[in-house]
Structure 1
């Protein structure tokens, strides 16, 4: 899939935390659009995509001047009260274009100079390890949440063929942990996995969050249903993994490797 990259000059970057992110003062998206083009991405149903001519994954808006904009916004917002940031809610801050443009790295530099009270980094890319130096500087103010929705790369390819391989994500989590950066594995959305998944995660992280197509899509599963995700499960004979209580199977498996206070369900695992 070939994507078009457009350069935009936003006036602001920080958005008020609402809905699923109401526990945060702000959300922050270095890019608009995402080339990972996951089949289940809820942004496919949002106006930002519905009013574009290209399909989801075929376009990315690169936000220019982001570092200097955020520097100004942080100074202003911190005068009003605590600043907690979720990065990112509708894109991946470490999608491939970040190698070249380094918008996300620039934003982290701004936060190192004037740290928020807390930063939650949500990604599925091992490129996040490039910024270990800045993440270490933020110390206890940051947590990196790596999406690991399954332990099967065949399953990953079926649902999100353009997303990074699972093995690379797990290795990135180990590197971050060894560097002293707080992490979690986020099984979101829940996809079919093997009985060994729990042990694989226990060797990688000490905190896991599970979310599925019913708790996390903001519409009790209706928005995901419109994306045809059930049909994708049916194609591989995995319909049972799409049921509302399927996540409990993984919870039971995780409990053999993790204590109760290391397992988070849906929104609680994303809070500051």
Structure 2
């Protein structure tokens, strides 16, 4: 899918944590819009997407001067409270444009010099391995979470055709863990997967988090329903995977391989 880039100078870069992210003092989005354009992305139902021309996934705003703005806002915020940051809540910080623009890396460089109390990095991109050197500077005050919704590539292509392949994500997760970066494999939203999925992830992350549409889209599944995602399950004859109780079946499967201390469900897996 072709993306159109827009260069914007934001008025602020740190946003107050609220709703699903109320456990954080702030959220941080290096970009507006996301090139991956995942079919199930709840952001499609939010004003940032609905009030824009062009389908979600076809445009990205690059936030110019983001690092300088973060330096000012972070210093100010740290005077008032403990600063915990979720990056990112409505975009992927390592989408393809990051190769050239390096906004995410510039923000990490600011945080290395002026560390928040905790940073959670959420991505589905293998590019995250590029910044291992910066992650390590934040020691135990960071967690890098790699979204791996399924272990079946044909399922990934059906639901998220423009997102990175599973193999590259797994390799990056493995490299992060080997380097000593605190890691999480995030199965969110859980998609149809094989019996081997728990074994495939074993040893590649410190912990896992399982989430679905009904717990994780911020509306009890209504936003996802409005996107017509059920039809994509029906096309594959996999409607049974689109049920509120499916996550419990997946948890049972993972418990055969992972300890309870390593497993988190929905919001608890994203907290600082």
CA RMSD of aligned residues (A): 0.6
Deviations 1:134-179 (A, max 9, x none): 0001111110000000001100000000000001000000000011
Distance in 1 (alpha carbons) for counterparts of 2:51 and 2:12: 21
Structure 1 consecutive aligned stretches of length 4 or more whose deviation exceeds 4 Å: none
Tell me the secondary structure at the aligned position of residue 181 of structure 2: coil
Tell me the secondary structure at the aligned position of residue 213 of structure 2: coil
Q: Is the 8 A contact 2:182 2:206 kept in 1?
A: no
Distance in 1 (alpha carbons) for counterparts of 2:205 and 2:3: 33
Distance in 2 (alpha carbons) for counterparts of 1:98 and 1:148: 20
Q: Is the 8 A contact 1:206 1:258 kept in 2?
A: no
Alpha-carbon offset, residue 51 of structure 1:
1.0
1:263 paired residue number: 263
Runs of 5+ consecutive residues of structure 2 not aligned to the other structure: none
1:102 correspondence with 2:102: yes
Alpha-carbon offset, residue 248 of structure 1:
1.1
Runs of 5+ consecutive residues of structure 1 not aligned to the other structure: none
Q: Is the 8 A contact 2:7 2:63 kept in 1?
A: yes
Distance in 2 (alpha carbons) for counterparts of 1:226 and 1:84: 32
Distance in 1 (alpha carbons) for counterparts of 2:50 and 2:169: 30
2:117 paired residue number: 117
2:16 paired residue number: 16
1:45 paired residue number: 45
> Greater shift after overlay, 132-141 or 201-210?
201-210
| TM-score w.r.t. length of structure 1 | 0.99
Distance in 2 (alpha carbons) for counterparts of 1:231 and 1:203: 35
Distance in 2 (alpha carbons) for counterparts of 1:93 and 1:188: 17
Q: Is the 8 A contact 1:108 1:134 kept in 2?
A: yes
Alpha-carbon offset, residue 52 of structure 1:
1.0
1:254 paired residue number: 254
1:200 paired residue number: 200
Q: How many residues matched?
A: 272
Deviations 1:109-140 (A, max 9, x none): 00001000000000000100000000001111
Tell me the secondary structure at the aligned position of residue 104 of structure 1: helix
Distance in 2 (alpha carbons) for counterparts of 1:218 and 1:10: 25
Alpha-carbon offset, residue 203 of structure 1:
3.1
Distance in 2 (alpha carbons) for counterparts of 1:114 and 1:49: 32
Q: How does 1:15-94 map to 2 (within 5 A)?
A: 15-94=15-94
| TM-score w.r.t. length of structure 2 | 0.99
Tell me the secondary structure at the aligned position of residue 60 of structure 1: strand
